[in-house]
Structure 1
Amino acid sequence: MARYACKLAYDGTEYSGYQVQPQKRTVQAVIEQALTNIHKGEHISVTASGRTDAGVHAKAQVIHFDSHLQMAPSNWIQALNVHLPNDVVVEEVSEVAEDFHARFHTTGKEYRYYIHHGEVPNVFRRHHALHIKQPLDVPAMQTAAQYLLGTHDFSAFCASNTAVVDKVRTIASVSLHPNGGELEFTIAGNGFLYNMVRIIVGTLIEVGSGKRDAREMETILASKDRAFAGKTAPAQGLYLWQVDYENNPF
């Protein structure tokens, strides 16, 4: 039995999130079905670095699975992609140590969120960026984002129905800048809470729209209360961009 790690990208538009759910199309379900096909009907379970919600995309999700089949990484890539739908692609495969764990061995993640703002929506980005018609004060948003740097209790930026008790996370870098006619928000840290990035983006949009002062971000963090933060931004602009490991498997 060997353990394999895979780096995959997917367009989350037509999925009810990553994790398997009854009677719903999920990324995990189509990957496990592909592996079942390759293994002639034997069910193979996969473990991911983390979940993504319905409509959220991934540029570099990482999963692992165990198999008794011995194949070169290039053959695994070809076999998996033959059996996967065209909105999920395996880009890299590596045989890893038997104790490698895609979720528990992560050391950090990077997410990106794209905002297209202007009078006319971009029809080709409707599933991949959030369109906002009104002008945004980007410098104010950049100022507000800097308050997120460092180690904080991010309870105010976590969905209220989460079961996670420890909400302290460390944000290593954060930026917001124009990119190809859109605003690209990038945030990297040692971990993220449920809906954390989308709530942060929703709050930054309120700053950019003039509904909040940039300095309120510090007060929101200190409150540790979800009610103080802004609305949760829609899913389609969010991408899991990178997953880090101490010993990169690829």
Structure 2
Amino acid sequence: GELCRALAETLGTPVRVTGCSRTDAGVHAKDFCITIDADGGTIPPDALPFAAARFLPWDISLISAKECDDSFHVRYDVTAKEYLYRLVNRKVSSPFDVHRAWCLARPIPIEGLSLMRRAAAYFIGTQDFSAFTAEGGKVMSHVRTLSRFTVEKQGDEYLFRVRADGFLYHMVRILVGTLVETAFGRYRPEDMREILDSRDRSCAGMTAPPDGLYLDAVFYEKDANRFL
């Protein structure tokens, strides 16, 4: 992809890039970790972000780089990920939010925030999220552990934050879509328990658009010996 091409141009040698996660088309990443395996190149890690900047497209930035030892795996050593979902609730959307948030014109009722927060609480813990995944995902188990699911309102913007040890295909978008439909009265917060137990995708709500979804943080075990 674009990142491999830019890094190969920067280092003057073919590179192999491994990412910490896969994201759907239209989804954004504020914090995305990669490992770079190159056969050559003389640029030190701390100089790599600046050196690569002129080869990268406008929508990709390399923020920092450091050496790691061969035992570190950028994907399999992840202990948790946190996603942010932005929903802007106003009649006329701003051009600055297009493709950067779910721009929803229908007003969310005043009681909607409380309903969504109550519904979100049902997802905390270790549970089977089969009802909240789309077809196409290839995983051995649909059991995941959610440690955080918050809903905040800032002006006309709703911010959903979800942290878990892993996520299923379209999982966050289906969770958000279901909460929004709860705000509009299609579901009651207590219905979340029944939906989870059903393990049936058709029982859950809509899949929210990809535009508002951001991979916001990636967590690893704090082991100083893993990094040089």
Pair in the same fold by TM > 0.5: yes
Report the CA distance between 1:211 and its aligned residue. Answer: 1.5
Matched, 1:166 2:147: no
Question: Do the aligned residues in 1 keep the contact of 2:46 with 2:66 (CA within 8 Å)?
Answer: no
Question: Do the aligned residues in 2 keep the contact of 1:178 with 1:184 (CA within 8 Å)?
Answer: yes
By percentage of residues, which structure has more strand?
1
What's the secondary structure of 2:74's corresponding residue? coil
Distance in 2 between the 1:116 and 1:39 partners?
41
Distance in 2 between the 1:159 and 1:43 partners?
36
Gaps of 5+ in 2: none
Distance in 2 between the 1:152 and 1:138 partners?
24
Matched, 1:50 2:24: no
Distance in 2 between the 1:234 and 1:246 partners?
32
What's the secondary structure of 2:147's corresponding residue? strand
Matched, 1:140 2:115: yes
Gaps of 5+ in 1: 1-28
Alignment map for 1:1-250 (pairs within 5 Å): 29-40=1-12, 42-67=13-38, 68-136=40-108, 137-247=112-222
Q: Taking structure 2 as the reference length, what is the TM-score of the superposition?
A: 0.92
Distance in 2 between the 1:109 and 1:95 partners?
22
Higher relative contact order (CA 8 A, sep 6+): 2
Report the CA distance between 1:116 and its aligned residue. Answer: 0.5
Count of residue correspondences: 221
Q: Taking structure 1 as the reference length, what is the TM-score of the superposition?
A: 0.84
Which whole-Å deviations, capped at 9, do the CAs of 1:133-173 have from their partners, x for residues lacking one?
Answer: 22221110111011000000111111122221211100011
How large is the Cα RMSD of the aligned pairs?
1.5
Which whole-Å deviations, capped at 9, do the CAs of 1:6-38 have from their partners, x for residues lacking one?
Answer: xxxxxxxxxxxxxxxxxxxxxxx1110011212
Question: Identical aligned pairs, as a percentage?
Answer: 38
Distance in 1 between the 2:14 and 2:194 partners?
49
